[in-house]
């Protein structure tokens, strides 16, 4: 197979712009792993006109896909976790070419999972968790139980990913298998949501209580990145936080995250006078313990 496909990547390996080539073969038990293709060739380059370039091929009645991805794009996916398919390919694929051990170092980074990367990834998952949880709670209170169910399902998924990251691992596509081994209480809640014989309203009511406790128990770690930034000065306006380059990774959920932290007494609101009588700017600061 590699001999047949070698012409697709061999020329690129002689170019200084190419950092690595990885091959991922189809698994009969997991056809979706390679998106229905028999083989994936993942080529990592320093720079390109497009961050992702894709070509499809046929050979011997089989299908192959060539992906050319820039370093910057791949590193962004590794940090944000918003394209887990490529992370899985990088982690499980066979290395065909590796310039200056670039791919080896990436794989090593994934295994060791540097603390700084963990803090940001935990903040991203925790902020998504809070948004889903808040929406689910509001739908539940309004009697929209199916919508509440949908958001609770997503919040449990973010809670699971957060737990995996907290334990020092990258969340894989099979995140529930990871969580079952690391934090079985979260897995049991997931099972309860899916298989309980209770009526949906009662099932959700019980889950809200249990998950609320778990979320609170993970707040200190989940919000550690934002809390550390807030400690850098006495108080912050919302816009100042949005402009922070690291907060930008979870800026879309920042407002709901701040409200949660205020409600749970991790952060307090500091009113600053405006020119309008009785109107104050809303600044945020960490509550000193």
Average pLDDT per run of 10 along the chain, which is 289 residues long?
74 89 81 84 93 91 92 84 80 91 86 70 94 95 96 95 88 83 94 91 93 94 94 94 91 95 95 84 87
CA 87 to chain centre: 11
Q: What is the pLDDT of residue 276?
A: 78
The answer to whether the CB of 233 falls within 8 A of the CB of 250 is no
Domains of the chain with CATH codes: 2-112 (3.30.460.10), 115-283 (1.20.120.330)
Angular region, 67: left φ>0, alpha ψ -120 to 50, beta rest: beta
Q: What angle do CA 38, 54, 94 make, to 5 degrees?
A: 50
The answer to whether the CB of 53 falls within 8 A of the CB of 68 is yes
Could you identify the residue written with the tokens 């949501």? 193
Query: How many CB atoms lie under 10 A from the CB of residue 20?
Result: 25
CA distance 214 to 194: 18
6 HSE (CA, 13 A, CB side):
5
pTM metric for this prediction = 0.76
CA distance 231 to 217: 21
260: its two tokens: 């949660």
Q: What is the pLDDT of residue 167?
A: 87
The answer to whether the CB of 100 falls within 8 A of the CB of 75 is no
């Amino acid at each position: 197979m590699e001999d047949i496909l070698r012409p697709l990547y061999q020329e690129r390996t002689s170019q200084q712009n190419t950092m690595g080539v990885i091959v991922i073969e189809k698994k009969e038990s997991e056809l979706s792993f390679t998106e229905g293709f028999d083989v994936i060739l993942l080529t990592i380059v320093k720079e390109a006109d497009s961050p992702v370039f894709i070509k499809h091929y046929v050979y011997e009645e089989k299908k192959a896909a060539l992906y050319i991805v820039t370093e910057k794009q791949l590193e962004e996916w590794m940090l944000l976790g918003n394209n887990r398919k490529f992370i899985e390919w990088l982690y499980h694929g066979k290395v065909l070419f590796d310039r200056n051990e670039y791919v080896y170092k990436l794989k090593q980074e994934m295994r060791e999972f540097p603390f700084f990367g963990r803090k940001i990834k935990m903040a991203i998952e925790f902020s998504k968790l809070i948004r889903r949880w808040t929406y689910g709670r509001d739908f539940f209170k309004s009697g929209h139980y199916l919508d509440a169910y949908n958001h609770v399902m997503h919040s449990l998924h973010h809670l699971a990913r957060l737990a995996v990251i907290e334990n020092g691992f990258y969340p894989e596509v099979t995140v529930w298998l990871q969580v079952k081994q690391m934090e079985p209480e979260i897995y049991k809640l997931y099972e309860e949501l899916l298989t309980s014989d209770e009526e949906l309203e009662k099932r959700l009511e019980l889950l809200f209580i249990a998950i609320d406790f778990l979320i609170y128990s993970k707040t200190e770690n989940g919000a550690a990145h934002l809390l550390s930034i807030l400690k850098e000065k006495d108080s912050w306006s919302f816009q100042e936080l949005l402009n922070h380059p690291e907060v930008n990774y979870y800026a879309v959920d920042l407002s709901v995250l701040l409200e949660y932290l205020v409600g749970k007494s991790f952060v307090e609101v500091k009113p600053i006078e405006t020119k309008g009588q009785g109107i104050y700017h809303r600044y945020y600061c960490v509550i000193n313990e």
